[in-house]
Structure 1
Amino acid sequence: MAEKYKKQDLSRASRLSVAPMMDWTDRHCRYFHRLLSAEALLYTEMVTAPALVRGGALHLLDHHPAEHPVALQLGGSDPAELAQAARLGAQAGYDEINLNCGCPSDRVQSGAFGAVLMRQPALVAECVAAMVEAVDVEVTVKCRIGVDDQKPEEILPDFLDQIRAAGCRRVTIHARMAWLDGLSPAENRTVPPLNHDLVRRMKAAFPDMHVSINGGIATLEQAQALLADGLDGVMIGRAAYHEPADILAAADPVIFGTGAARDPIAVARTMMPYIDDHLTSGGRLHQITRHMLGLFAGRPGARAWRRTLSEQGVRPGAGPEVVEAALEPIFDLMDRAAAE
């Protein structure tokens, strides 16, 4: 198990983080993303506290030592249960425990957690305090600027003030309202207008808190501009997943000032031993390669790469040879370009 990151190291890593995304940021995705960036902070999919504490689903905590720094995001609203789940996450080796106060899905609402908690800052503070007391790793919160008919300028400062008093010193704010009645989770990622300026103002109002911004950020240039505005970190979701070479492969030199941009072909090749290990343990190729479809997005050969992985990666018995076959059009186009 990797040595746990100290708070100052996590603060630096969270200058750029990859958002927790249900069905996307599983352990295979995170391992792949780590090969693209040695520095960025990675997050799990949301894991519910009841699943861990009542359901005993400890396999949801599985991760590879190479993923660090990596944070576990929990969903829940019972302080005692969240404290126990946080303890399980810390024991499993996660560097940070994050409380989800931003997910707008119906399933999350019915469980009385996620974005609906924006209406109950005192309960969130109680949850944070219980988690802080339970673990020796940092406890953080990811939230929205508000929900439904709330006025963000009024409720968000109070929300931040209460979680800060409970021991949270690092928060990620998704700069959109969440409409819990009338919009789907997908629509909640795009329809409510962005309010980056409000998040900037929250950083100014809470200078002692580490404030990261999330929502509508699609390029490293945007991330750099937001950091230059005084925000402490930028969290990127869909762009990091769908265009990982543009975001993560260049993140270390651009955002952290370390190393060089990673070569997507080298990253694909470096995945081979991991793929072999997964197949040997009874896994399927597509469980990994589905996360690699965007590796060459916007580059020559990207369509052939996606098609080969999508069509052949799901076949029974598919192995690393599928990845090699998907790379062939990339090499062919590179050879042609070199010859011209």
Structure 2
Amino acid sequence: MPYPAHRFSVAPMMEWTDRHCRVFHRLLTRRALLYTEMVTAQAVIHGPRERLLGFSQSEHPVALQLGGSEPKALAEAARIAADWGYDEINLNCGCPSDRVQDGRFGACLMAEPALVADCVAAMKAAVEVPVTVKCRIGIDDQDPEAALDALVEAVAAAGTDAVWVHARKAWLKGLSPKENRTIPPLDYDRVRRLKARRPDLFIGINGGIADLDTAEALAAELDGVMLGRAAYQNPGLLAAVDRRFYGAEADTDVFAAVEDFLAYAEARLGEGVPLQAMTRHILGLFAGRPGARRWRQILTVESHKPGAGTEVIRAALAALSARGEGEFVAGDGVAA
């Protein structure tokens, strides 16, 4: 099946893009592709599937990111995920953490394009939904020209539907995962050259994209853009995505989105989910608006208290309204 026109996506981020985060992001953008946190293939096969894979139907289109390097296990995990209803299966070839390296997956797979191709081929044979790859431009002392081409050629031959490229190297020796998100220099031109070389393949770009103006400019040259920290820390910018990338007539009303999230939170509270597990994802919503600090403060302090309910969110909204002046434009402000 042809890969959909996912011009905008929110990156998979460990400990951030859980099901509560994704529901909130979906309330802000109806069209963007959302990704789960990375889940290992072995966890999918042997672990608690409802906790690891469960998601709301409102999240579609939603992709599961898998970690692993065993073709048979990845194929089984992909089949399970497709049966759960995921719209895409993505293979992580970009995470630089020590734990991921120890498991022989993530960015270290940049050094083994033939193995990655075997993994992709096995997953493609197991499912009908798109199978994609997210990678870096290279690792350690690799030449990004040769390394990225080698990986992309291998996975394209194996049938991958898309490649999302974080336009930095990953230094597996000497930099922490946090440092790997900022210290290696961005090289958007390398991704542009890849697209020029492979006009037939969906090439999306990720890394350091902090605002929608930059995202739009990159989307004009490539097939898709993926925002990570900026979308999480300043989710208000997602309210303009459907208009700017998909032709919607207007931005999403962020206050209406909060009201809808209140209903979601109320339902989850009834299932025993603590309020803080949900409010942590909405702290940056009003970045750039007068009263945003008070909004964050109320949510941060009050959500942790025993028995905290949705009245905390309403109190934060009231404080915001009392402090706010003038018109608020969704997506104004910068990521924290």
Runs of 4+ in 1 over 6 A off after TM superposition: none
- Identify if the C-alpha distance between structure 1 residues 265 and 162 changes in structure 2 by more than 3 Å, giving closer, same or farther: same
1:273 maps to what in 2?
A: 263
* Paired residue type of 2:259: R
Q: Does 1:18 align with 2:10?
A: yes
Whole-Å Cα distance in 1 between the matches of residues 156 and 189 of structure 2? 21
Contact between 2:294 and 2:316, CA under 8 Å: does it hold in 1? yes
Whole-Å Cα distance in 2 between the matches of residues 59 and 304 of structure 1? 33
Match of 1:103 among 95, 99, 124: 95
Whole-Å Cα distance in 1 between the matches of residues 50 and 223 of structure 2? 33
CA drift at 1:263: 2.1
Aligned ranges for residues 50-61 of structure 1 at < 5 Å? 50-61=42-53
CA drift at 1:252: 0.6
TM-score, length-scaled by structure 1: 0.94
Match of 2:41 among 19, 28, 49: 49
Aligned ranges for residues 1-340 of structure 1 at < 5 Å? 7-8=2-3, 11-12=4-5, 14-228=6-220, 230-246=221-237, 248-334=238-324, 337=326
Whole-Å Cα distance in 2 between the matches of residues 147 and 60 of structure 1? 29
- The percentage of aligned residue pairs carrying the same residue is 58
* Paired residue type of 1:48: T
Whole-Å Cα distance in 1 between the matches of residues 41 and 83 of structure 2? 15
Contact between 1:118 and 1:159, CA under 8 Å: does it hold in 2? yes
CA drift at 1:45: 0.2
* Paired residue type of 2:279: T
- After superposition, the C-alpha distances for 1:109-140 in whole angstroms (9 at most, x for unaligned) are 00000000000000000000000000010000
- Identify if the C-alpha distance between structure 1 residues 7 and 277 changes in structure 2 by more than 3 Å, giving closer, same or farther: farther
TM-score, length-scaled by structure 2: 0.95
What stretches of structure 2 of length at least 5 have no aligned partner? 328-336
Whole-Å Cα distance in 2 between the matches of residues 191 and 337 of structure 1? 38
Aligned pair count reads: 327
- After superposition, the C-alpha distances for 1:181-239 in whole angstroms (9 at most, x for unaligned) are 110000000000000000000001011100000001001000111122x2000000000
CA drift at 1:169: 2.5
The 3-state SS of whatever aligns with 2:263 is helix
2:333 maps to what in 1?
A: none
Tell which deviates more after alignment, 120-129 or 53-62. 53-62
The 3-state SS of whatever aligns with 1:224 is helix
Contact between 1:52 and 1:58, CA under 8 Å: does it hold in 2? no
Question: What RMSD over aligned residues (CA atoms) do the two structures have, in Å?
Answer: 1.2
Whole-Å Cα distance in 1 between the matches of residues 165 and 253 of structure 2? 31
The 3-state SS of whatever aligns with 2:249 is coil
CA drift at 1:55: 3.4
Contact between 2:2 and 2:161, CA under 8 Å: does it hold in 1? no
Whole-Å Cα distance in 2 between the matches of residues 275 and 259 of structure 1? 28
Whole-Å Cα distance in 2 between the matches of residues 55 and 61 of structure 1? 10
CA drift at 1:270: 1.2
What stretches of structure 1 of length at least 5 have no aligned partner? 1-5
Whole-Å Cα distance in 1 between the matches of residues 326 and 139 of structure 2? 51
Whole-Å Cα distance in 1 between the matches of residues 290 and 212 of structure 2? 21
- Identify if the C-alpha distance between structure 1 residues 299 and 133 changes in structure 2 by more than 3 Å, giving closer, same or farther: same
2:334 maps to what in 1?
A: none
CA drift at 1:337: 4.6
Contact between 1:293 and 1:306, CA under 8 Å: does it hold in 2? yes
